[in-house]
């Protein structure tokens, strides 16, 4: 009989951008996103994610410096692949960067990077970050062509954009949600088969975080906006503990057989 084991725990990255959004709404120093990051680390976060947008609408340069100096939790710095951001990352040296697409007018990150079309622009950015010892992931949709293009850039990881799936569920578009889910399942397996570490994030909540944790190739989720909203009602620490528990429930429902395959 095949020996069946539990799947390894999935890592939780807490995105603190929207604590900074609240701070910036008043123009002062409160609430302090660095305090939120410390609290997240104490509540069980495996890393902190912060997106230094080109327009600095939430996270600012000094937040990145303080996150690295004051918080005992690895930083995943999300950034556009521009010369300015690359220079900041090379100077700050976070352990991880995640390259994301950015459009000034967007309300949030609306899609994944077009790695296929932007290969030549991304290659030198990826190379200079990697040469400095910074791990790079690429925030992409779950399409095969994008995954193959990411593998060609020799990055260690991709992060699959889950926003389309989460929106389809929230809006009750069942057929779209099913199609988006299948694309994430297939994309995660394909990326893993090409040797890429698979992360996922955007728009996740307790329900979707539990479900996506059942995909065995996904090893990290990055979650922010929902948790900062939940913090208003239950507190940030409690919202993080609840999402951690949801992820663990999803993961624990997986049993792995020989070679890490999902057992029936």
Ligand X SMILES: CC(=O)[C@@H](O)[C@H](O)COP(=O)(O)O
Ligand Y SMILES: NCC(=O)COP(=O)(O)O
Binding annotation for 3-amino-2-oxopropyl phosphate:
15, 26, 203, 224-225
Residues in contact with ligand X, total (CB under 6 A)? Answer: 13
Question: Could you tell me the smallest distance in angstroms from the CB atom of residue 227 to ligand Y?
Answer: 7
Distance of CA 45 to the CA centre of its chain: 12
Residue number with CB closer to ligand X (50 or 254): 50
Counting contacts by CB under 6 A, is residue 209 touching ligand X?
no
Question: Could you tell me the smallest distance in angstroms from the CB atom of residue 85 to ligand X?
Answer: 13
| Binding-site annotation, residues for 1-deoxy-D-xylulose 5-phosphate | 17-18, 53, 58, 108
Cα–Cα nearest to 144, from 131, 160, 128, 121: 160
What is the x/- site pattern for ligand Y, positions 194-213, by CB under 6 A?
-------xxxx---------
Binding to ligand X, residues 48-67 (CB under 6 A):
51, 53, 58
Residue number with CB closer to ligand Y (208 or 214): 208
Is residue 163 within 8 A of residue 143, CB to CB? The reply is no
What is the x/- site pattern for ligand Y, positions 129-148, by CB under 6 A?
--------------------
Strand 157-161 and strand 218-223: the pairing is: unpaired
Which of 161, 192, 199, 202 is the catalytic position?
A: 202
Query: Which residues, listed in sequence order, are joined to residue 140 by a DSSP beta bridge?
Result: 160
Q: Binds 190, which of ligand X, ligand Y, none (CB < 5 to 8 A, cut-off by type)? A: none
**Which residue sits closest to ligand X, CB atoms considered?**
108
Reading the block at residue 257, the tokens are 């057989």
Q: Is there a catalytic annotation at residue 161? A: no
Q: Binds 74, which of ligand Y, ligand X, none (CB < 5 to 8 A, cut-off by type)? A: none
Query: Who contacts 236 (Cβ-Cβ below 8 Å, separation ≥6)?
Result: 36, 39, 40, 43, 227, 228
Is residue 197 within 8 A of residue 156, CB to CB? The reply is yes
Q: Is there a catalytic annotation at residue 192? A: no
* DSSP string of 200-252, one letter each residue: EESS--HHHHHHHTT-TTEEEEEE-HHHHHHHHHH-HHHHHHHHHHHHHHHHH
Binding to ligand Y, residues 213-242 (CB under 6 A):
222-226
Q: Binds 23, which of ligand Y, ligand X, none (CB < 5 to 8 A, cut-off by type)? A: none
Q: Is there a catalytic annotation at residue 202? A: yes
* DSSP string of 161-185, one letter each residue: E-HHHHHHHHTT-HHHHHHHHHHHH
Is residue 146 within 8 A of residue 112, CB to CB? The reply is yes
Helix-helix angle 33-42:236-252, to 10 degrees: 40
Counting contacts by CB under 6 A, is residue 108 touching ligand X?
yes
Binding site for ligand Y (CB under 6 A): 15, 49, 159, 201-204, 222-226
Task: List active site positions.
Answer: 51, 78, 202
Binding site for ligand X (CB under 6 A): 15, 17, 51, 53, 58, 78, 100, 108-109, 139, 201-202, 224
């Amino acid at each position: 009989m095949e020996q069946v084991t539990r799947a390894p725990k999935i890592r939780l990255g807490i995105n603190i951008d929207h604590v900074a959004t609240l701070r910036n709404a008043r123009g002062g120093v409160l609430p302090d996103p660095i305090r939120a990051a410390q609290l997240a680390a104490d509540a069980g976060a495996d890393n902190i994610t912060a997106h230094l947008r080109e327009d600095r609408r939430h996270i600012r340069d000094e937040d990145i410096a303080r996150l690295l100096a004051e918080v005992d939790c690895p930083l995943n710095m999300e950034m556009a692949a521009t010369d300015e951001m690359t220079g900041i990352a090379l100077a700050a040296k976070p352990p991880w960067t995640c390259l994301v697409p950015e459009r000034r007018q967007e309300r949030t990150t609306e899609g994944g990077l077009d790695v296929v079309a932007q290969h030549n622009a991304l290659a030198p950015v990826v190379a200079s970050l990697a040469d400095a010892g910074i791990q790079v992931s690429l925030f992409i949709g779950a399409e095969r062509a994008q995954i193959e293009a990411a593998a060609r850039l020799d990055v260690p990881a991709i992060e699959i954009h889950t926003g389309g799936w989460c929106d389809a569920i929230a809006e009750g578009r069942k057929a779209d949600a099913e199609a988006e889910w299948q694309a994430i399942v297939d994309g995660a397996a394909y990326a893993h088969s090409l040797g890429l570490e698979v992360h996922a994030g955007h728009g996740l909540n307790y329900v979707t975080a539990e479900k996506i944790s059942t995909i065995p190739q996904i090893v990290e989720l990055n979650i922010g906006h929902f948790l900062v909203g939940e913090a208003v009602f239950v507190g940030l620490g409690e919202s993080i503990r609840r999402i951690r528990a949801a992820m663990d429930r999803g993961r624990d429902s997986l049993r792995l057989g020989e070679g890490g395959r999902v057992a029936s």
